[in-house]
Chains A and B, each alone.
Chain A
Amino acid sequence: MMKNLRRTSQILFLLVFLILFIQTEYKGKDELGLPVRLFLDFDPLIALSSLLATHVVKKIFLLSLVTIALTFFLGRVFCGWVCPLGTLNTVIGYFRMRRPSRNPDDGNHPRMRKYKYYILVFILVAAVFGWNAAGFLDPISITIRSMAIGFNPAINGLVRAFFEFSYVLAVPGISPAMDSLYSILTGTLLAFEQPVFRQMIPIALIFSAILALNFVAPRFWCRYLCPLGALLGFVGYRQLFARVDVDGEKCVSCHMCNRSCQGDATPFPPGQWTSSECLICFNCKDVCPASAVRIHPSMKKTGDGKVDLQRRHIIATGVAAIAAVPLIGLGETGKRHSPDLIRPPGALPEDEFLRTCVKCGECMKVCLTNGLQPAFNQAGLEGLWTPVLVPRLGYCEFYCNLCNQVCPTGAIRSISLEEKQKIRIGLAFFDKNRCIPYALGRNCGVCEEHCPAPGKAITFLIEEGIDRSGKSFELKKPVVNPDLCIGCGICENKCPIVDKPGIRVSSINESRADYQLYL
């Protein structure tokens, strides 16, 4: 019974997660109604590492205390009942569990349980020294990022291809019906436009690998690697309300509980149940042929199982983390700001931004124009997968401020639209060797037409031009006014020179950094 309840909860939370994920898109309102970052708000690893790295207490961190309190009383129910990555792992791991094997402890590797604690130690120590690495390995962050950047574009691409094919086939009766369905789906279940992301394949592959590990052991990630799982295991190992109690008298030593255990918590042999590893999944109780398993509130210690953490390993991990902090900052970008490092409006100054951003990819998912892309080397190793605007792929829409609404940590701080419209994120420069009026002596002016900056950051210098037949005409050469340009990049995006544009935005002159001022 409880097992079914747990399954229902997992499905419901996964659905909520997916709905919130799909809602993380412009749906006709300037304010995104549903709090799409909800799962991250309740994530204590994100809160803790951000707190340690930035020394800033944010109100939003309070929500994660709910998770902490829940775990304190009930153990890792978040992992077993709520976490969307956990649920995906449960589903895939289920197939692994059902594979018959002669080894009674098949798929269980209790000695690997410690690794996730070392990962957690690494993350927290690094955070204390200023490197917030939680985003790379936090399960919620990984899931949102991988879905937004990797899977969502792929799924959209496949479904679209299917519908486009039907459209092209033009089967009377069927194709028009399919096409109406397609129109309804776009912007609702499907993205409004096909999303395109740099690093889609590696990010999707990493996530696929995490899912595939379930074939090595069920819920491999949750049992052996997940730092959030480790944190919750630590918080909840003394819980008193859902203790697994195996009655040694009744036990027939069939190992069924261990083999069905989601968390590798070793309910068998009796007395070895490990509280910090238990996901309260109720499988052991459900599967026990002798009804020897009880799960109930108890003041008594019902299990003595331990994770064999070793002090010297913890210290070594801490030392490694301390050493890693200066090392990851050694890249080229530590010396000089990359011209391509165009951050979304409202981004904190770069140092703080790096310490605060958890690379969840929500801003990239929500970006109206698909212009926000995961950084590769623009921000150094530390800044891998942080958002950068790539104007050739998408520009910053003047009346949009969605990205700061979804940012869970305030790396893109919450700003009003009026404020956003005044923030300079870069500066546009003409390449006179390519810009059509300069290089080819013909009028164009597409950039000027699109520039949204009040007063127009692009204006024309009017000169006399001579056309092929020798007639003179008004040649309008565009110039940028650095006082007005906000770096939104629509000019670069729309420039008709589709390969290397005649105007490019670079990060110089951005408002958030004095050292970046142009003049």
Chain B
Amino acid sequence: MADRRTFLKTLAGGAAFLLAPAGKLASNTTATDAGTSFAVVKSKDTAAAVRKSVELLGGMGAFVNKGETVFIKPNISWDKIPDQAATTNPLVVQTIVAMVIEAGAKKVIVADNTCNDARRSYKRSGIQEAAEKAGADVPFMEKRKFVRMDLGGDVLKEWEVYTEAFEADKIINVPVAKHHGLSGVTLSMKNLMGLIGGRRDLLHQKLSESIVDLAFFFKPNLTILDAVRILKAHGPQGSTLGDVERRDTIAASSDLVKIDAFGIDLFGEQFREKGLSGFPHLKMAEKKGLGTSDYRTNGYVGLDLDKT
């Protein structure tokens, strides 16, 4: 029952954030930049929201050093346009690439192992063009570049991993908040599925365990959740535009568990009944020491740029 209570508390917090007038939210902000471990920024100006969220965490320089190779993992799974919210917003990706380059990275790679045809998904998501414009390499994941390695997970023992992601100095995970038919939602941990190859569809049978294993193995240095638009039904690829809701929200943290807990709250009513126990991966991740699902208490900052 403990997790039920935490959940309610979290939910109350989340709901307060979501419902509270933005001005008040901003004034709630007490944490200093240095102490911030979880930043949520709302703005119609997506690029500004992305920049602000990372700034609140201490700037991109806190995550990326000069001369490093950075692997950015957006969700490019589907042959859908940005309005359909099945893939990460291209502007979010573009802004992150720009920031990483400004921070002095030597090389930025943006890639995903797609579900639909890779060429179409890269193209129609708008991510290929946007990321290339900002200076990233956007290669297709080619089979030969997946190498079987020991992931040391509970379920995922040995699996094919995309070498360029594994070898990069830093990984930035850029999921989009979506409903998921099987697991309820897909957020930061599930997004890491795009870094592995092989018969990953098998993992659906133990989805929660698998994605926690992945989070543990890859430990992305920074996760930026795209909730500019969220997909509320028929996820993870959606069906009609009626499934999409505009939220203009970006959340950033190096704590995947916080991001996922926050992401679930984003859906509000939809998952209230289920509670956190409806999302077993959170508890598993906490138990493994990956982070905490209580994103509200320590180092939380929420900002609405359009209201301040």
Contacts and interface: CB of A to CB of B under 8 A. Distances in A.
B181 A496 contact: no
B205 interface: yes
Interface residues of B, number: 27
B240 A26 contact: no
B181 A445 contact: yes
Nearest to B203: A496
A448 B207 CA distance: 15
B142 A450 contact: no
A455 B123 CA distance: 24
Nearest to B199: A496
Contact of B144 (A164, A369, A446, A494): A164
A444 B205 contact: yes
A368 interface: yes
Interface in A362-390: 368-369
A187 B119 contact: yes
A73 B9 CA distance: 89
B204 interface: yes
Given A455-B239, A456-B239, A443 B117 contact: no
B263 interface: no
B202 A183 contact: no
Interface in B117-160: 117-120, 123-124, 139-140, 142, 144
Majority SS at the chain A contact face: loop
Contacts of A442: 205
B117 A26 contact: yes
Interface stretch (A90-98, A151-159, A395-403): A395-403
Interface residues of A, number: 35
B234 interface: yes
A384 to B, nearest CB: 28
A364 B116 CA distance: 18
Contacts of B201: 446, 494-496
A450 B182 contact: no
A117 to B, nearest CB: 46
Contact of B116 (A167, A397, A460): A397
B14 interface: no
B237 A496 contact: no
Interface in A435-451: 436, 442-446, 448-450
B220 interface: no
A298 interface: no
Nearest to A194: B143
Contact of A449 (B79, B117, B123, B236): B236
Interface of B: 79, 115-120, 123-124, 139-140, 142, 144, 180-182, 199, 201-202, 204-205, 207, 234, 236-237, 239-240
14 contacts: A168-B144, A186-B140, A187-B140, A192-B119, A192-B140, A397-B79, A398-B79, A399-B79, A449-B181, A449-B236, A452-B237, A456-B234, A495-B201, A496-B204
Given A398-B116, A454-B240, A496-B202, 17 more contacts: A26-B120, A164-B144, A187-B119, A187-B140, A192-B140, A368-B120, A399-B120, A400-B117, A436-B205, A443-B182, A444-B205, A445-B182, A446-B204, A450-B237, A454-B239, A456-B181, A494-B115
